[in-house]
Amino acid sequence: MLAHEVSVTPNLFDAIALHSQGMLVQAGAMYQQLLAIDPKNADALHLLGVIACQTGSHQNSVDMIDRAIEINSNVARYHSNRGIALKELKQFEAAISSYDKAIALNPNSALAYSNRGIALKELKQLEASVASYDKAITLQPNLAEAYYNRGLSLHQLKQLVDAVASYDKAIALKPDYAEAYSNRGISLQELKQLDDAVASYDKAIVLKPYLAEAYYNRGISLQELKQLEASVASYDKAISLKPDYGGAYYNRGNALKELNQLDVAITSFDKAFDINPEAHYLLGVRQHARMFVCDWSNLTQSLLVYESEIASNKPAVTPFTALTLVDKPALHLQSAKIFVESKHPKNQVLGEIAKRTAGGKLRLGFFSADFYYHPVAILLAEQIENHDKSKFELFAFSFRSDIQDPMSDRLEAAFDHFISVDKMSDLEVAQLSRQLGIDIALDLTGYTGGSRTGIFALQAAPIQVNHLGFPGSMGADYIDYVIADAHLLPESSAKYYTEKIAYVPCGYTYDRQRQLSDQPLSRAHVGLPEKGFVFTCQNGCQKFQPEVFSIWMDILKAVPASVLWLMEPHPTAMANLIKEAQARGIESDRLVFTKREPVAGDQERARIGRYLASYKLADLFLDTWPYNAGTTAIDALWAGLPVLTKAGEAMVARLATSVLNAIEVPELVTNTAQEYRDLAVELARDPQKLKLITDKLKENRLTSTLFDPVGNTRHIEAAYTEMYRRYLADLPPELIYIEP
């Protein structure tokens, strides 16, 4: 907002009248006429500077106003408008200096304080910006823009409730303030008041139907509400209003990917990349989407680019995507650090947690978006059910209440307390955790879908642990421990983890209630030939990479009449896999695709039983790398099917190595691609050797640590107890070893 009030001569008055009517060319001509008569007419110089600012010529504006100030330096509005021009030039410190001079000359200038707040916000001096807005509001209580901008700063400070209140005040003063409604929606979204956020965006759109940002942010809230089709429609509207809206294409791609409309999602990511190739994490997101359709074109070159970007400390690949693409622990750690520093830095707004004293049960808080039929729940259920409730009190903090199935019912019954927090902000959840006296907070989600890392950045508990959900380092100094076994995370890899490792004999507690169906099942049921060797991989096809697939095709060539049995993927992925096989000399009929039955309510147990029993139809499970099979590998072993793997460097590349050692069949772990290929062929050609391994698996099934939920739970309890002992003794987190 520019100040125009001046002491006028008749000619100057006429020029200002034209200026006020928006007739800038005519007003400027009159100011020039005045200067021709009187070159030292400071008001004319100043107002020419105002016109220059209004027409986007900001440096010229500063120059003109500087000439006015040289003539008369005691006019507050000159300095104030100079500050506005400097702000547009992004010279924020100089702008603040000008505002300060204006305020010194006129301490009652609300506009100067308000504009000063904007410049301070741009310099990330957020507390100071709020104080400047507060002063402006004190001087001029009806200044809607000050309340609006105050809301923006409070939002960045994560003072979200206060931000909403500030937007509300701006709207009360200016009911048609569409931008205030739109940004109010953003704060409500972070408060997890998603329905209210959508309503706020809707109001902004009614007031200003061409406000693309409101449609864009509305799409984000709808996506979080899992109203994915509506979310895509909202992004589409934003794009129609702003065709170069890269962010809308980016988030539209994410929503389409959730809808399994992968081809359209990839096109959307490509468009986002064309608009802004520097968009944070877009490189990795786009490549990860391509992996779901087995599009490996230019993958090698792309991986080199990703590695270079991460090494240069650029936000190119999210931590989870980095795990899936390359087996380089140092790169994984760097990716996690970049992510956490930009998205979830440590937040000390709640202050330190008061030191607790020993006594009573140890309170464990389990935080997850996956308390339903999900791999994390499969590895958690019997652990929760077998905890010693005389020593431990168990709290579940669920990030999703929209999914209810037999597993979620079972988990609710197993926990002492089950709390849905999906409609609470990160701050509210962290406060609740502290109020409940949680001693150890376990993040079961990490950087996977539905993660809420912000809760842990706020320090939800004195001890915080990365467990089960994310097979890598969080890269955050506020996560104290990661639970693992020595095969999963060798001590030599500890340098790639910001967490200290809590070693237990086995890092998994498999759900032994997942029983195999005893109903007759033939190969024909799943489209397999009745004769011939059946290799299988039941991993998602996004884990497939050209190196692994080429080895599989070599194995098929070396074992006549054999087939590779895969879970049926997206149609484009299936077509691409067939094309890749044929390019390697393998006919399409040697790839067999079977669609998994969906899980449905009370039928879940029967469906799982049939799925597990189907592993008996295969002869050998072939693992993937760099992202190994996790729960699928344990499922196969539980069914008695040998799993062949290649040990990698990172935790995610050693998942199967861990479980094979836990079931005491290390002979199925190879160290090179050639060893992997040769052993697969050998086992297919030597039925007796394969039978010995299969018999060993069946014998170890009920005696090994892999399938000992009670013993594994006691080991994990011992780790928790040692973590807490160190905390009480004022000792920092350190490597913990729990012996069998």
pLDDT digits (tens, 9 = 90+) for 258-290: 999 999 999 999 999 999 999 999 999 999 999
Q: What is the signed CA dihedral for 348, 354, 356, 360, rounded to 10 degrees?
A: -90
Per the domain annotation, does 129 fall within a domain? yes
Question: Does residue 109 lie in a domain region?
Answer: yes
pLDDT at 454: 96
The answer to whether residue 228 scores a pLDDT higher than 50 is yes
Which pLDDT score, from 0 to 100, does residue 702 have? Answer: 83
Whether 516 is covered by a domain: the verdict is no
Using alpha carbons, list the distances in angstroms from residue 542 to 111, 307, 407, 554: 55, 19, 26, 20
Q: Are both 113 and 241 inside the same structural domain?
A: yes
Residue 6: the pLDDT is 46
Q: What is the mean pLDDT of residues 711-739?
A: 96
Within a domain: 738: no
* Residues whose CB is less than 8 angstroms from the CB of residue 442 and which lie 6 or more positions away in sequence, other chains included: 364, 365, 366, 367, 464, 465, 467
Rounded Cα gap, residues 443 and 450, in angstroms: 12
For 678, list phi and psi in degrees, rounded to 5. Answer: -65, -40
* pLDDT top residue among 21 and 498: 498
What is the pLDDT confidence band of residue 8, given thresholds at 50, 70 and 90?
Answer: very low
| Confidence check: pLDDT of 622 > 50 | yes
Taking 60 as the threshold, does the pLDDT of residue 601 lie above it?
A: no
Closest CA to 289 of 309, 316, 312, 260: 260
Which tokens in the block code for residue 256? 């389409």
> CA-to-CA distance for 657 and 661, rounded, in angstroms?
6
Q: Report yes or no on 608 lying in a domain.
A: yes
* pLDDT above 80: residue 97: yes
Note whether 214 and 159 are same-domain residues: yes
pLDDT tens, 150-209? 999 999 998 999 999 999 999 999 999 999 999 999 999 999 999 999 999 999 999 999
By CB atoms closer than 10 A (0-12, 13-18, 19+), residue 96 is: buried
pLDDT at 3 over 50: no
Instruction: Say whether both 99 and 216 belong to one domain.
Output: yes
* Residue 603, in any domain of the structure: yes
For the chain, counts of helices (H) and of strands (E): 32, 14
Residue 49 pLDDT more than 90?
A: no
The CATH number assigned to the domain holding 394 equals: 3.40.50.11380
CA atoms within 13 A on the CB side of 242: 18
- pLDDT band for 496, please (50, 70, 90 cuts): very high
> Which residue from 479, 491, 493 is spatially nearest to 337, judged by alpha carbons?
479
Task: Place 722 in a pLDDT band, splitting at 50, 70 and 90.
Answer: very high
Q: Which two tokens stand for residue 267?
A: 């096109």
Q: What phi, psi does 442 have (nearest 5°)?
A: -110, 115
Q: With left for phi above 0 and alpha for psi between -120 and 50, is residue 359 left, alpha or beta?
A: left
Please give the torsion angle defined by the CA atoms of residues 247, 253, 256 and 260, in that order, rounded to the nearest 10 degrees.
Answer: -160
DSSP-assigned beta bridge partners for residue 564: 535, 591
pLDDT value, residue 7: 44
Model confidence at 414: pLDDT above 60: yes
| Same domain flag for 331 and 385 | no
Among 503, 537, 563, the domain-final residue is 503
Q: Is 474 in a helix, a strand, or coil?
A: coil
pLDDT on residue 5? 45
What pLDDT does 597 receive? 64
Check: CB of residue 77 under 8 Å from CB of residue 3.
Answer: yes
Judge if 326 and 376 occupy the same domain. no
How high is the pLDDT of residue 1? Answer: 43
Domain count, the chain: 4
pLDDT number for residue 108: 94
Residues 155 and 184 in one domain: yes
pLDDT tens-digit series, residues 454-493: 999 999 999 999 999 999 999 999 999 999 999 999 999 9
Q: Which of 353-362, 601-610, 699-708 has the lowest mean pLDDT?
A: 601-610
Q: How confident is the model at residue 18 (pLDDT cuts 50, 70, 90)?
A: confident
Regarding whether 612 and 694 lie in a shared domain, the answer is yes
**What's residue 602's pLDDT?**
54
| Residue 615 included in any domain | yes
CB atoms within 10 A of CB 555: 24
Average pLDDT estimate for 299-306? 93
299 shares its domain with 224: no
What one-character-per-residue DSSP string does 525-583 give?
GGT--SSS-EEEE-S-GGG--HHHHHHHHHHHHHSTT-EEEEE---HHHHHHHHHHHHH
Domain assignment present for 651: yes
What average pLDDT does the segment 225-250 reach?
A: 97
Are both 66 and 173 inside the same structural domain? yes
Average pLDDT, whole number, for the chain?
A: 93
Query: How buried is residue 495: exposed, middle or buried, by Cβ count under 10 Å (0-12/13-18/19+)?
Result: exposed
Residue 605 or residue 330, greater confidence: 330
The candidate with the shortest Cα–Cα distance to 538, out of 628, 650, 605, is 628
How far is residue 194's CA from residue 112's CA, in Å, rounded to a whole number?
36
Q: Determine the Cα–Cα distance for residues 503 and 501; give it in Å rounded to an integer.
A: 6
Q: Mark whether 532 and 679 lie in a shared domain.
A: yes
- Mean local confidence (pLDDT), 14-26: 85
pTM of the model: 0.90
Domain assignment of residue 579, given as a range: 523-707
Residue 42 has pLDDT above 50, yes or no: yes
Q: Is the predicted pLDDT of residue 598 greater than 80, yes or no?
A: no
* 402 shares its domain with 449: yes
